Amino acid sequence: MAVEIYGKAAGCYGGSGEELTIVASSYMTLEAQHAAEILQGVGYSATVFDMRVLRPLNLIDIMASVCHTGRLVTVDTGFRTYGVGAEITS
More confident site: 37 or 5:
37
In a domain, residue 36? The reply is yes
In a domain, residue 90? The reply is no
pLDDT at 7: 39
Residues 56, 54: Cα–Cα separation, whole Å: 6
pTM comes to: 0.80
Split into its structural domains, the chain has a count of 1
Q: Tell me if 14 sits within 8 A of 68, measured CB to CB.
A: no
What are the pLDDT digits (tens) for 12-51?
Answer: 665 667 889 999 888 898 999 899 889 889 998 888 888 8
In a domain, residue 81? The reply is no
Question: Which DSSP category does 52 fall into?
Answer: -
In a domain, residue 35? The reply is yes
In a domain, residue 50? The reply is yes
In a domain, residue 31? The reply is yes
Residues 44, 66: Cα–Cα separation, whole Å: 15
The residue type of 88 is I
Assign 79 a pLDDT band (cuts: 50, 70, 90): confident
For residues 62-71, give the mean pLDDT. Answer: 90
In a domain, residue 47? The reply is yes
The CATH number covering residue 42 comes to 3.40.50.920
In a domain, residue 89? The reply is no
